[in-house]
Structure 1
Amino acid sequence: MPIPPGLVQLLRRHLDEYGTTQDGRLFRAVRDGRVRSTEYTEVWQEGQRRAVSALAVQVRPRSPPGATVTGWPKLARMDWLPLLSTLAGAAIGIVATLIADRNRWKHEDVKEALRLRLDIYTQYTTTVKVLGETLRALAEREHPSGDERALALREAFRDSGIAIASERMWLIAPQPVVEASNSVFHCLRRICDGYIDGTAVSSPESRARWEARGKAAAKMRQLMREDLGVGPLTERHSPLLNDYNNPGAQ
């Protein structure tokens, strides 16, 4: 965008003295932070006030007290176009900078939100997988008593971190993903409770619970991918009935 020569000189002087930030921004706040739009407005209003004051001093006629004003006709014949062009160019430059910065900030906010959700989704799906493997391994292990078996399963569920991962989902994820992740949580809860009650790993009841968990996890991952703007999977991630003999891979 073309700008007046006077503004070019000011910008070059600013660059020589202050340079730019690491990401190429011309203006910066404290500790290289971003300049807020309100601060731009305050600086612009102050600059406008000073410019108008200086202009009034320059064009004020120098007539002695009591004399007739003879300078105004000359003032009316002044070429105002350069001055108005400079003011218009400065205003356009500032507005363009504000719009570009605002659009860049919005884009960066969207990218940061996606990165945050990706981290939360990865933590939750990993926790779900590890917890499923742990529950099955504990259920297959020999325990001195049923009470000790139940205690080991409860501690594994509690210490898995799934409660914290679930809370993060409730705080950040959109409603469909939250509902799907909550369904997976309760599937694992039913698997754990079934093993605590003495359900055998190879029983039809256990098989049905693992199948329900696999379907819920598949739906959850699909919704997560849609939320992240990723295309659908061409292969099934969560095993169902045919993979029952290896639910840890779910």
Structure 2
Amino acid sequence: MQWSTLVATAVGTVLGVLATLVADHVRWRRDRSERNRDTLRTAFTEYLTTLSTAKDAFSRAEPSPERVGKGHVAIGEHGVYAAQQQLELVAQRTLVDKAGRATLSVLDFHDAVVAGHTTNSQEYVNAWRAARHTRAALIEEMRKALQRG
């Protein structure tokens, strides 16, 4: 047997194995990236859903001055804190910070409603707009995170 045939076979085998390993690695990274994106998407959706549910419930709350400042209990009952903690596990710090601001803005909205401010009062409108604005900023950050993922 000639050395050149043996060397060519060995080189071909090594190149074939290397090509397979590289292709498997690329596929593994793509699959991992997709799983991470799905995890983020699920956490984002759950948080936004619970936050919206809480805000909607707060918009129907009856005035009750003794409940001003106690929205953290009500927001916890809607699962917002649990969803926010999930975000803390999977999302980047900037996104978690924006989620915290969104939660606080909904708490401020709660306080405006239970303080007795009606839908046409400036306090109610300001709190509602602030909640909407912080939610929009959060959603924009979420979209960026999903594109990066």
TM-score between the two structures when normalised by the length of structure 1: 0.53
Q: Tell me how far 1:153 sits from its aligned partner.
A: 5.6
Superposition pairs of residues 94-173 of structure 1, within 5 angstroms: 94-139=17-62, 147=66, 155-173=73-91
RMSD over aligned CA atoms reads 2.4
Q: Tell me how far 1:182 sits from its aligned partner.
A: 1.3
Q: Tell me how far 1:136 sits from its aligned partner.
A: 1.4
Q: Tell me how far 1:96 sits from its aligned partner.
A: 0.9
The Cα offsets for residues 47-84 of structure 1, whole Å up to 9 and x where unpaired, read as xxxxxxxxxxxxxxxxxxxxxxxxxxxxxxx5212222
Which structure exhibits the higher relative contact order, with contacts defined as CA atoms closer than 8 Å and separated by 6 or more residues?
Answer: 2
Q: Tell me how far 1:227 sits from its aligned partner.
A: 2.0
The number of equivalent residue pairs is 146
2:4 aligned with 1:81: yes
More helix per residue: 2
Q: Note the residue ranges of structure 2 that are not aligned, 5 or more in a row.
A: none
AA partner of residue 101 (structure 1):
D
AA partner of residue 215 (structure 1):
H
Task: Judge conservation of contact 1:139–1:201 (CA < 8 Å) in 2.
Answer: no
Among 103, 114, 118, the residue aligned to 1:201: 118
Quote the sequence identity (%): 23
Task: Judge conservation of contact 1:199–1:205 (CA < 8 Å) in 2.
Answer: no
Q: In terms of Rg, which structure is larger?
A: 1
- Tell me, what secondary structure is at the counterpart of 1:188? helix
The Cα offsets for residues 129-159 of structure 1, whole Å up to 9 and x where unpaired, read as 111011111236xxxx755x66x96653221
- Tell me, what secondary structure is at the counterpart of 2:2? coil
Q: Which residue of 2 aligns with 1:184?
A: 102
- Tell me, what secondary structure is at the counterpart of 2:62? helix
